[in-house]
Amino acid sequence: MEDQEVQKYFGTILEKETHVSAGVAAIRTLMEVIRQSKCATVQELVTNLKKAIDSMKNANLPVAVIMSCCELFLRFITLVGLDGGSFNECKEVMLSRGNLFLHNLDEARGKIVKFSSKFILDGSKVLTHSRSRVVLQTLYQAFKQGKRFEVFITISSPDNSGKIMYKELTTAGIPCTLILDSAIGYVMEQIDFIMVGAEGVLESGGIVNKVGTYTMAVCAKEMKKPFYVLAESFKFSRLFPLNQQDLPAEYKVGIFVAFIQICIKCYFQYTSAIRKTDLKSAHPLVDYTPPSYITLLFTDLGILTPSAVSDELIRLYL
């Protein structure tokens, strides 16, 4: 598959199935690459896959998820015992492993929902930031279990994704309040805990998420409110930023564009702006929340403390 084909395939999945996260879409694209490839050796196939990953990275979407997910996928399907048998057999093995991997991805969200919905108690007030599919599912699940709780959602400008989340929750019948991004400090004292999603979970145990998460975390720490992060394990990535500045530039740019793509209205106006903008003078649309601000991470591997993330990563990669 050529680069453009890959991007097109990837794009159509995301457009047609809005509930699918970018990571899953990327894996499905890679599976398609394997299926269609005419390579004769494993080596060649892997290089092709890597090329495809690179082209997806440039597709103006959250890079954090795509990168971590694809890296894990590559490890999962190629690195363990492919010797023996013809190339076609190997390909079959890879495809079946890929399917297993996808299956695990699909199940991940369900597991997290199961773990985290227990933490929502009757009468609790939850603060969340921007829009996260896994947080949404968790809140649905807790509501289904008959728990009565209230949700505060930040608007989270500039793409106002909080508004979408607000609409989704109100249609489900969950009482919620939309607040300004700058009102985080005001509502912090009345809420019980914070639940956010994550773009990526890093080696340090910290997370990369929509800008404003860090502000919220610092505020929560000061007011001693628990800060929970809900993230699937395919978002784990082997990066260790020391501070905001140290976050790789591709993470910043990629996501900057990605969020804007969601609100198509301002798409053209923004992309042209980004191409010109120097990141030093502007700020990206993601920030890094250091592990010391995070209470717990709910993942499909279990409920982890931030320091356990690194242990899991060591287990996965070394």
Partner 1 sequence: MSQQPLSDVNAKVNDQIFGKDKKNKNKPQNNNNLKGNAPEKTSNDKLTEKQLRKLEWEKKLKERELETDVKSDADKTLSKAELKAKRREQQEAQRQAKTDKSKVIEQVPEKPIVSKIAKLPPELPYLNTHKTPLKKSFEASRTNPKQVQLVKHLYRIPNLEHQSKIVNFKDIHPVFVRLGVQYSEKVILGSNARALALLSAIKTLINDIQTPSKQEFCRYFQAILQSCTDYIQDCRPFAVSMTNALRAFKHQLRHIDTNHSDNEKRAILLEFIETYVRNDMLKAWDAICMKVNEKILNGDVILIYGCSSLIRRILLEAYKDGKHFSVIIVDSRPLLEGREMLRRLAVAGIKCSYAIINSLSCVMKQATKVLLGAHALLTNGSVMSRIGTAQVALVAQAYNKPVLVCCETYKFSERVQTDSFVYNEIGDPDLFLNIDTSSNSNPLVSQKDNNKLNILNLLYDVTPPDLVTAVVTELAILPCTSVPAVLRINAGENSI
Using rule CB under 8 A, residue 212 touches partner 1: no
| CB 222, min distance to partner 1, A | 15
The region of 17-25, 57-65, 93-101, 302-310 touching partner 1 under the rule CB under 8 A is: 302-310
Closer by beta carbon to partner 1, 57 or else 238: 238
Using CB under 8 A, pick the residue from 240, 250, 283, 302 that binds partner 1: 240
User: CA-to-CA distance for 51 and 61, rounded, in angstroms?
Assistant: 17
CB 298 within 8 A of CB 228: yes
User: CA-to-CA distance for 176 and 297, rounded, in angstroms?
Assistant: 24
Q: Please tell me whether the peptide bond between 158 and the residue prior to it is cis, using omega within 30 degrees of 0.
A: yes
Using rule CB under 8 A, residue 281 touches partner 1: no
**Side chain identity at residue 76, one-letter code:** F
Using CB under 8 A, pick the residue from 116, 204, 213, 289 that binds partner 1: 204
Using rule CB under 8 A, residue 292 touches partner 1: yes
Distances (CA, A) of 260 to 61, 92, 248, 269: 10, 39, 19, 10
CA proximity to 216, closest of 162, 256, 254, 257 = 162
Those residues with Cβ within 8 angstroms of residue 122's Cβ, 6 or more apart along the chain or in another chain: 147, 148, 149
Instruction: Give the phi and the psi of residue 37 in degrees, each rounded to 5.
Output: -65, 150
Using CB under 8 A, pick the residue from 162, 197, 205, 254 that binds partner 1: 205
Using rule CB under 8 A, residue 200 touches partner 1: no
Using rule CB under 8 A, residue 242 touches partner 1: yes
CB 207 within 8 A of CB 228: no
Closer by beta carbon to partner 1, 107 or else 250: 250
Closer by beta carbon to partner 1, 36 or else 292: 292
Name the residues that contact partner 1, by CB under 8 A: 203-205, 238, 240, 242-243, 245-246, 291-292, 306-307, 310-311, 313-315, 317-318
